[in-house]
Structure 1
């Protein structure tokens, strides 16, 4: 089997849209992800995605933005604001865990500090899986053992009880004992409702519950930390844009798009051919070959994103119809199902801010900027040296509302 690397924006976009190519990025993480949505192919993928799409709707996203996120932000940020400091990676985990756990359908019966700490610990263990392929080979066995242990603990304490409660609720609704609106609007409930048609095993339910909990939180934290870092650096060099951050309701979101373009959650996507496939360079991949889609390179193509494509510039003018964030959220059948929930939709000329969907990441970034977040000068941020992609391991910050830039 041969590995083929493609890096131009057009070739990467076209490759990601090919239905004959299977997901191959998470082969090293099969123990946790082989039967999750991201790895399914063809009719299986389409059937499960269609079931889960019933909760990935604009009205539900808007409900989260306007009613759920503000409460979560206030609860999560309060102790850090009172202390005047914190770590942005830890803060991000806490915010997104609360949001994604609820959206996935993981019940938290205790709502205690101990329960929250345990969920955070498990979430960080799960985050090892998607990056296994980017970890040194000698580190992978130990990381797999940690992931397996975390999966068993998560299933026993959280996933299985949550699943059984939803099955019991569905039985009561089906019998007429409860009205249909008594069912929670979350991913697990959608899967339970479509259980007979999907034929999922208990292990598949576990993998899917973990995937949505982990993906929604971990990838968002990656995007959040990079966005804050890029904005703080930009404002230090371009203080004239402070006014725009304050006055332009869409500018923070534009900054997030630009940061995400530079820093996709994974620098590459991978696909495996199921039949001979014609490559953009004129060559041909054979069945079973791997195609590496270089998202980082595609998102920095000069002809599309300009001469400064490798640098952060929230005023960027794009040549063509590419998203402002490039293809960081994917395109085609495996495009991120929660893209609009995470980063919102791109505003068009004349868009009314009151009706606009901004996305959770831009709204969290805005809340942090309004709280006077700055990098801690006495405790420099550190990159994660355990994987090959650029990701922050720690990002100490200070808070001072009197010095907030917006």
Structure 2
């Protein structure tokens, strides 16, 4: 099997939309390049049978089911009753006045906890209401992200081992008790003690009711929950932090634009610009060619493994201009392309989170509302501290796509607006 790199946006857009470019767990974990115990463990523990790794009718059926979790009314409920109310709550607990009289916190910790509440609701997890429960769940995020992305790390064996250990904590302490809770709720529905609508719509409810045939396999159901856990927490956190970093530098160079934090369209454009440059926070995604893929600029033969360098494609100067490597929220984007590039991919496997991030109108998503709120509080990086960044393999570092572990900030308007 040959590996074909695709890094021009026109070519990659065509590949991702092709019915011949399929998802494959073996290609995603690079098992096809170098079969190993770590790669095989990676497939079995994290990838086999999840929605992002299945194709055809099986994928379409499950995707239609999962789309109901991100219907407009559900997204409004999550935004207004879960995410935004948790912003001030977690900030209030984290922000401290330092010796210089400045209000500081680690914003990575805060944002991750906010999105963990979202993840808990969309999955149906119990036990995250206490500080201890949240902290224990948060300890699983980074190692499980590593486990699912281990092909992007040098020390793969250790990363997979840590991911499997964290998965065990997630399953035993959160997934299984939460599943039992939903099972009991549905028994009460069957007995006429509860109305079905009184049991919130979430992934665990779908699993308990057998809404998809694949969920009869406990392993697939668990792996699907883990996918939602990582997707709603890790990438969302990085999207918010990266946008704050990029937009902060923009305001230093363009102080006249600082007042635009009140403009949701401007904040949306800034978020999309940051996503164009950095998402999906790893260097490439993968597909396998079931047949020849007709892409004029990049011949792909049946059986080829495909590496789609999404962030690199998002920096294509032929589409985004000679300054494509720079952050510019006022960038003019040509017709036929999205401002966020291919950050959410495209085609059959386009990311479910697109509407959650940007909102159905592109200007009302939870992420951009959160970013807007932080800037109203006067957020800026605490230059006395250096953020900790996850060390990934050289190809990730070359593209300068940081994955923040810590993100120290100062809020200059805390007393006035908190």
Q: Structure 2: where are the runs of 5+ without partners? A: 30-38, 98-102
Separation in structure 1 between the aligned mates of residue 347 and residue 216 of structure 2, nearest angstrom:
24
> What are the within-5 Å matches in structure 2 for residues 49-68 of structure 1?
49-68=63-82
Separation in structure 2 between the aligned mates of residue 51 and residue 384 of structure 1, nearest angstrom:
34
Shift in Å at residue 320 of structure 1?
1.4
CA RMSD of aligned residues (A): 2.2
Aligned to 1:310: 325
Aligned to 2:372: 366
TM-score, length-scaled by structure 2? 0.88
Please give the secondary structure, in 1, of the residue aligned with 2:264.
coil
Stretch moving more, 291-300 or 189-198: 189-198
Deviations 1:222-273 (A, max 9, x none): 1111100001100011001012223x23211111011111111233221012
Aligned to 2:18: 18
Please give the secondary structure, in 2, of the residue aligned with 1:330.
coil
TM-score, length-scaled by structure 1? 0.90
> What are the within-5 Å matches in structure 2 for residues 259-278 of structure 1?
259-265=274-280, 266-278=282-294
- 1:89 has 2:108 as partner: yes
Tell me the number of residue pairs that the alignment of Structure 1 and Structure 2 aligns: 392
Q: Structure 1: where are the runs of 5+ without partners? A: 348-356
Separation in structure 1 between the aligned mates of residue 212 and residue 22 of structure 2, nearest angstrom:
25
Please give the secondary structure, in 1, of the residue aligned with 2:288.
strand
Separation in structure 1 between the aligned mates of residue 256 and residue 384 of structure 2, nearest angstrom:
26
Q: 1:375 aligns with which of 378, 381, 395?
A: 381
Q: 1:243 aligns with which of 259, 274, 288?
A: 259
Stretch moving more, 295-304 or 23-32: 23-32
CA contact (8 A) 1:72 1:99 kept: no
CA contact (8 A) 2:294 2:300 kept: yes
Aligned to 1:336: 351
Deviations 1:332-371 (A, max 9, x none): 1111112111232455xxxxxxxxx521211111121122
CA contact (8 A) 1:304 1:320 kept: no
Please give the secondary structure, in 1, of the residue aligned with 2:405.
strand
- 1:227 has 2:243 as partner: yes
CA contact (8 A) 1:4 1:285 kept: no
Deviations 1:166-193 (A, max 9, x none): 2232233234332121211212212333
Q: 1:135 aligns with which of 153, 169, 181?
A: 153
Aligned to 1:169: 185
Deviations 1:32-70 (A, max 9, x none): 122221112222222221221222100010112223222
Aligned to 1:296: 311
Stretch moving more, 228-237 or 304-313: 304-313
Shift in Å at residue 195 of structure 1?
4.0
Shift in Å at residue 404 of structure 1?
8.5
Q: 2:91 aligns with which of 77, 99, 112?
A: 77
